[in-house]
Amino acid sequence: MSSLFVFDLDNTLIATTHDYTDPILEMCRKVIQVLGEKAPHVSQIVAMEQEIDKRRVRETNPSTGRPYFYSMERFPGSLVETYNQICRKVGELPLPEVQSALYEIGLGAFNERRYGKNLKKGAFEVIEFLRLRGDVAFLLTKGDRRVQEKKIAALKARGLQFDGVCVVDDGEKQERHFSEIAGEFPNCVQRFSVGDSYEFDIAPAIAAGFYGVWLPVETWDVTGRMEELRGVVRRDKCIELASLQDLIVRCDELVTLNKEVVR
């Protein structure tokens, strides 16, 4: 009997954390260039941007009346807001031309030319391995549909094939998303969720009756919290792996572990 594997995309199949690194560093250079000795130390600028960007996930986008969540507009706007806050602290008026330049810098994080190059080691082999076994490989990703669909197209161009795709563009993955996917494949009694985020890829999946396959990556939203997260992991319903390739090596073990959970 086939098993259902639901894969996350960002930092699970494609490495995307550092897509934002160059724009953040370029923002720092721009702020220091414009404000000179009034500019904070670069470490403070980066810390401010991280705090602002996390906060803005839940803030309302005035253009849409909805939370920013993971839309394209949030990150570039966070670079602009970082500059605005620094200006307020040092008593300078923000310059419109600098704000516009920073927004354009932020859009550089969504350069689709890098998506195919960012395919994580073992991604193709894992998906092929599972599909050759007769298992179901499903892609569940959250984010701006305009961005995520380009990443999915890059995967397909590299030869990755999925039995289904779902983009959550209105917030976080929730238990209901996993339950709905499970409902599409009723013959798959064994269900696994594979992802880098315990909070968003694994915990809601466990609530929906899945077994978790956690591939931890220290991304912007969990920096410094990895040990805290490891302390709340449901070890009875989740296994932590070091790499995608480990999924191939330990696939039979996973199935056995999950049989115990299902039983």
pLDDT digits (tens, 9 = 90+) for 22-36: 999 999 999 999 999
Residue 98 above 70 pLDDT?
Answer: yes
pLDDT of residue 156: 93
pLDDT of residue 87: 98
Chain mean position to CA 82: 22
Q: For residues 58 and 53, what is the distance between their CA atoms, to the nearest angstrom?
A: 10
Torsion of CA 54, 171, 151, 149, to 10 degrees: -140
| CATH fold of 4-16+118-262 | Rossmann fold (3.40.50)
Q: For residues 57 and 18, what is the distance between their CA atoms, to the nearest angstrom?
A: 19
Nearest to 210 by CA among 137, 134, 135, 262: 262
Measured CA distances, 186 to 181, 191, 205, 255 (Å):
9, 10, 16, 17
Contacts of 84 (CB under 8 A, 6+ apart): 94, 99
What's the pTM value of the predicted model, to 2 decimals? 0.92
- Report pLDDT digits (tens) over 102-135: 999 999 999 988 898 999 999 999 999 999 999 9
Q: For residues 240 and 199, what is the distance between their CA atoms, to the nearest angstrom?
A: 14
Contacts of 260 (CB under 8 A, 6+ apart): none
Q: State the pairing for strand pair 191-195/164-168.
A: unpaired
What is the residue-averaged pLDDT of the chain? 93
Helix (H, G, I), strand (E, B) or coil at 22: helix
